[in-house]
Structure formats: C-alpha cells, structure tokens
Amino acid sequence: MDDDVTDFGMRIPYLIRQVNHALSQRLDRALKPYSLTQAQLSALAILGHQHPAPSSGAELSQRSGVTPPSMSAALADLAGRGLVRRTPHPTHGRIVEVGITSAGRKLLREVQVATKAAEERDMGGLDAAQQEQLRDLLRTMMRNLDLYLPREEK
C-alpha cells in the first residue's frame, strides 16, 4: 500500500533517463569517428537547418540545452576545425555571430546520414503511429518544461 514509494522504476523520469542514456551512448559512438560531441552536432544542425539564420552562442546554447560555457568551448573547437565561422561583430559589439561553413555543412550531411541509420534501428520497435504518439507526448513535455521547441513547420 505504501509502495507509493516503491514505484521508483516506474517513474517516467527514470524511464526517460534510461532510454536517453542508451540512445545517447549509441549516438556518441556514432559520432566518435567525426570527433563531434552532441553539443557540437546540435550546433551544426541548428546552424545548418535554420534557413539563413546564423545565431549567437547564447541562442545556440539555449536551443541545444547546454550552458553557455559548454557551447562556447564546443564552438571554439568547431571554429578551429573550420566547421563554423565566428564573426566578432554584426553591428553589435558583444555578440559573436556564428555561421556554418561549407565544410561544416558537408560534414553535417555525412553525420546525419550515418546517425539516421542507427536511429532507425533503435526506433525500430515502435511502429509509425507509436512514434508519432511518443513525439507528441515529448513535445508536450517540452512545452511544459519551458524548453525551446523547434517550430512544427512541415
């Protein structure tokens, strides 16, 4: 009756943590040959897909779910490898605008093809309807948690 407290393994945050951990490890492994961290992939993906939307480090860190220092370090590395370009001032002195380079775009394509395959394997146990359901639930949670949500835009 008081196993109210015994349901630990059934709590959603616990389940999410487990699933994320497994997926995350697989992603890291897939990313290793490219020497990219998840934060770096996230930054490249945002820069590569957001129409012609270059961003500031602050914005990238927020959308990627990492702290500004983490993103700062990630970008410094990417810039050193010529995958992104940091232009010190747009017209505003303290913002550093970040944009993806063509080399970055090329790498992004490669990585996305590689990770997509692995992902489909991992998601294979869910049919299309279930995946859609899961996506909706997670997006609802993101809204509730005040996380940045990429627009639905078909």
Residues of this chain that interact with a copy of itself (CB under 8 A) are: 3, 5-6, 8-13, 15-24, 27, 38, 45, 49, 65, 109, 112-113, 116, 119, 122-126, 130-131, 133-135, 137-145, 147, 149-150
Tokens representing residue 98 in the block: 């970040």
Q: Is 70 one of the binding residues for DNA (CB under 7 A)? A: yes
> Which of the listed partners (a copy of itself, DNA, none) does 53 bind, with a CB threshold of 5 to 8 Å by partner kind?
none
Our CB check for a copy of itself shows the closer of 49 and 89 to be: 49
- Closest separation in Å from C-beta 134 to a copy of itself: 5
Contacts of 116 (CB under 8 A, 6+ apart): none
What tokens does 151 get? Answer: 């627009």
Task: State yes or no: residue 58 binds DNA (CB under 7 A).
Answer: yes
* Among a copy of itself, DNA, none, partner that 75 touches (CB below 5 to 8 angstroms by kind): DNA
CA distance 10 to 124: 23
Exposure string for 20-36, b = 16+ CB within 10 A, e = fewer: eeeeeeebeebbeeeeb
Sheet strands side by side (includes 97-100) = 55-56, 97-100, 84-87
Complex with a copy of itself: residue 3 or 91, whichever CB lies closer: 3
98 membership: H or E segment, kind and range:
strand 97-100
- Which of 30, 39, 46, 47 touches DNA (CB under 7 A)? 39
The CA dihedral of 48, 50, 51, 54, to the nearest 10 degrees, is: -80
Q: Residues in the site for DNA, rule: CB under 7 A?
A: 21, 25, 28-29, 37-39, 56-59, 61, 65-70, 72-76, 86, 89, 92-96
